[in-house]
Chains A and B, each alone.
Chain A
Amino acid sequence: LAKTTQPISMDSYEGQEVNITCSHNNIATNDYITWYQQFPSQGPRFIIQGYKTKVTNEVASLFIPADRKSSTLSLPRVSLSDTAVYYCLVVASGTYKYIFGTGTRLKVLA
């Protein structure tokens, strides 16, 4: 099973780009990497998903190197409302095991 490791917390200022890295050394060939955002007292919300190289949507980018042992979530120009916990999720195909990482608590300062 691909265990994930993330920084516990990060601080940033409004308008800056934030990069959060997730380590998943044991990721299997067919596993996908997904990132979720969670606000207090709410369920996690899907942000972005990728398999390799780079994926971009309207809110974030996901960078995955060739060895796929890590991934980086990039949030451009963060605002105060981006203050949340961000989780990296690797879906272990074939085992149906969904493993959330420890989560990174991002605090955006004015």
Chain B
Amino acid sequence: GAVVSQHPSWVICKSGTSVKIECRSLDFQATTMFWYRQFPKQSLMLMATSNEGSKATYEQGVEKDKFLINHASLTLSTLTVTSAHPEDSSFYICSALVSGQDNQPQHFGDGTRLSIL
């Protein structure tokens, strides 16, 4: 149980385009989802916390107009990287908490490798 699916798993696109990444909880409802970024040989850095039906909370230094987050349902959160540039190339990973289960660990998706040419 507690499966999180992320799509796409890999995307390559030209500089200046916008890219949307989906994060779905397949067998549970997730009021809260998280978006992380991971550079090679580095740890996960939290970008933002996404709550269903409300605005995301961004970590310090993360541009909210650059990384648009939408959490319109209890099973889907999306991250849109707007006007992507090569420096946005990274591994983006989402995670989700099972609704109503406080103090339980986050369940992670398999990540999206984003390469901007």
Question: Do the two chains bind?
Answer: no
